Amino acid sequence: MKSKNSVFKDLYQALVTWAEDVNQHEITDIVEKVAQSKLYLHAAEKLPEDKVKQFVDNLRFDISEFIQQNEIHVKDSLYLGLLNESFWNNMQAITDKSQVEW
C-alpha cells in the first residue's frame, strides 16, 4: 500500500504534467491564432470596398434565410428553451454580483 506522501507526490506530478501540457498548447494556439489573424487582415486590406460590401450583404442574407427556415423548430425546441433559460439566469447572477460590488 502506498504511503500518503507517495500518493501526494503522484498527484502533484500528474498536476504538474497537466499544467505544462495546457501551458504549451495554449501558447501554441494563441500564436497560431495571431498569425492567422494577421493573414486575414492582410487579405482584407487587399480586397476592394465593393467586394467587402458584397460579402457582408451575402452573409446577412444567408443568416436571415437560416433564421427564417429554422424559426419553427426553434419555437418547439426543448434544448433551446433550456439554453435560453440558463442564459438569462446567468445574466441575472452576473448583474446581481456587479450590483453588490458597486
- Per-residue pLDDT of 72-92, as tens digits, reads 777 777 877 788 888 888 888
pTM reported for the whole predicted model: 0.36
Grid cell locating 20: 505544462
Q: Is-contact 23 15, C-beta < 8 A?
A: no
Looking from the CA of 31 toward its CB, the CA atoms found within 13 Å total 6
pLDDT exceeds 60 at position 27: yes
On the question of pLDDT at 62 being above 80, the answer is yes
Amino acid at 25: H
C-alpha cell at position 75: 419555437
**Domain boundary assignment for the chain:** 1-46, 48-102
